[in-house]
Structure 1
Amino acid sequence: WIDATSPETAMLSFTKVAEAMSKPGFDACDIEGNFRYVRQALDKASQKWLVVFDNFDEPELFRGKQIKEYFPTAGPGSILVTSRLEVVRSLGHNSLEVDQLLEAEALEILLRRTRRKRAEQDLTDATNIVKRLGYHALAIDQAGAYILKRQMDFSIYLDHYNRQREKVLNEAPEIWDYTKISKDSAEGAKNCTVFATLELSLDSLSGEEQEREDKKHTLTLMAFFDINKLTDTIFAPY
């Protein structure tokens, strides 16, 4: 699994794979050597393999280097590239566009997350929520967690969300990507939707004022961690 967000994350991923493959004399600092080892191992492999290049959304970060230069060149395997860019279709023989959730699927996620039954009024309000959130799975999951924790009516949540989204758009700097993009594209609108649901949850942290600020600071700091290294052991002493 290769994080293709940038050249740096891609090469770090290859290093992790080299370690997992028990490369002889493994050295985490030998980035190029680890990359070559993994590619050569896949080229010579006798068993089928799958390599996923995930989040290849900003080719310009690769500074003119083609993503294909990171691909194995032989071997009985397959390569999957995930991206929000239409042009990435040209990299392979087959492509699959992942559409947004159907309304029924979105409702199922929200009802399951909030542990609600299909009462008629709940369904009406729940439908309004998933529509407002653009059928975005992450935003719906966040909304469900918020509603469940507070045992809140769906209709009340929608009012909370609308006010929070307006706050996000009004208070964010004009140069901020979420604000700028959200006014110009469907993708940006989805980004802002997710951000508003996260902000709503962040603003509702429990505790005294200083305790809430400490929690916000900690969560903000966690956003800079490698998600693969952010484990329960970090928090166990506390």
Structure 2
Amino acid sequence: MTGFVHSFDVSTGVDGPGTRFVAFLAGCPLRCQFCHSPDTWHRRNGRPTTAGDLMHEIARYERFIKVAGGGVTVSGGEPLEQPDFVREVLRRSHERGLHTALDTSGFLGDRADDELLSYTDLVLLDIKSGDPATYRKVTGTGRLEPTVRFAHRLAERGVPIWVRFVLVPGLTDEPANVDAVAAIAASVPTVERVEVLPFHRLGAAKYTALGIPFPLAGTPAPDRELVERVRDRFRDHGLSVY
């Protein structure tokens, strides 16, 4: 089984619980205005890698990540562009006793079959916006409904979810949009937490290197007051917020 892997990293407290081996796969159907990794949009930006080769890399860190209460996260790009490869990596990781997480927008959630989800201990679900029109504006071509459908399917299977929401001043910060995301999250019983992620411009240099205009080049990061106000709106819906 071969997939296209852009890169991998070992991180703590960012991509799931504990210290994680994070595999970033290449290819994504969305073009989110705030994307900080445009270099992962196309599969050609990844290198062909077998599941065995990736597991060999994971094995180098296995003892460390187990002791640190972590595991393996498959991210992107959008990992569900390569569901067969993801299924195999999650299966092998699960068989080694490693906690597994899938970081996805849910837009391609229908591609995740029941077997793939049976090897998934946690889903990091990026809900770009709660208002369908804002969702299309944020993602370029995406639709909200597949993400909502995927979230409820996960809940039916009892899969824990951490919702992620990127807060962008002037784009995703409208109270009605925030409340819509919160309502979606509150309607899914296996959502354990919501992470409000302040927008940043750390990926701007990648756009320059690729010769692509950065849509949010003039957008500031949200100030602390806005971030806390948005977090409070999620808390008002009974959600645990970080």
- Alignment TM-score > 0.5, same fold: no
TM-score by length of 1: 0.29
TM-score by length of 2: 0.29
Larger Rg: 1
